[in-house]
Structures are given as C-alpha cells and as structure tokens.
C-alpha cells in the first residue's frame, strides 16, 4: 500500500504524513516504512551540526501507523463511522538509537487490547533491524468538529 492508498485510511497529508508505504497489515499489526531524506527541513534546526531525526516525529510515524491499523479494522468490520482515530495517551516511550538523515525506518504498531472506545497499542521504530524507539499509546475514535 503506497501513499495515495494510505491517505484513504488516515487524514494526514504531506508534509505531515510520516508513512511512505505499508508493508503488511492485518487485524492486529501493521508494518510500514518511512525514508527520512537528508533534505528534510527540520534537520537544519534540530542539532544542525549533528542532524538526527526528532524523536517526536518518529513517535508520530508510529501513531499514524496505529491510526491506519484502526481504520483498516473498522473497514474490515464494515463499521460506518464519521470518527477518526486520535491519540489519547503516550506512555513508556524509550529512545534507544538515533536516526540519522537518509535513513529508512520500519514502523510497527500492534493492537494490545480494545477497552470501550479506546484502542491500546504498542509500537516500534526499527533502524537496520534494531529498535530505535519503542512506545505504548492509546487512541480513541473521535468525531472532529471543524474550527469555528
């Protein structure tokens, strides 16, 4: 699944879409990838003499993968919804390796459990087969209201 197909699952769009391709997807886990080009403008201001990919962006990529998994499940269950999965909590975020420019990362998000309207997930960012970031997070389906 490539970017234009990903955009059928989640509302994110460039320049804030952090999934390039979905490699695999089923009811409980999604595996996607993202290439962070050296041209990424944030490298100019985030440790400019030693550019690394911001941890918050790496986490957001995992959260977007999780949102795509939720949207996929809702489609598979043929549940009509006007809601969108939104992040409700982040916990146990661990940053184990730096992700330099021109890196291809693999993103994993796994469904742990569904509690009422909340989806509890675990995610990882892998670089060269090794975990760079691990995070647990929660999402809920919310009907977003346009700004006034």
Q: Kindly list the catalytic residues.
A: 46
3-class state of residue 63 by DSSP: helix
Contacts of 76 (CB under 8 A, 6+ apart): 27
How far apart CA 132 and CA 83 sit, in angstroms, is 31
Question: What are the tokens at 67?
Answer: 């949102």
Are 119 and 111 a contacting pair, CB within 8 Å? yes
The secondary structure of residue 14, as a DSSP letter, is: T
């Amino acid at each position: 699944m490539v970017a234009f197909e990903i955009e059928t699952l989640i509302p994110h769009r460039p320049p804030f879409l952090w999934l390039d391709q979905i490699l695999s997807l089923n009811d409980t886990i999604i595996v996607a990838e993202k290439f962070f080009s050296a041209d990424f403008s944030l490298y100019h201001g985030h440790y400019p003499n030693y550019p690394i990919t911001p941890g918050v962006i790496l986490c957001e990529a995992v959260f977007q993968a999780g949102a795509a998994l939720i949207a996929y499940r809702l489609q598979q269950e043929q549940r009509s919804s006007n809601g969108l999965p939104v992040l409700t909590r982040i916990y146990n975020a661990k940053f184990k390796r730096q992700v330099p420019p021109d890196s291809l990362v693999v993103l994993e998000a796994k469904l742990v459990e569904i509690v009422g309207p909340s989806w509890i997930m675990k995610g990882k960012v892998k670089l060269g087969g090794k975990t760079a970031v691990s995070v647990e997070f929660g999402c809920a389906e919310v009907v977003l209201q346009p700004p006034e």
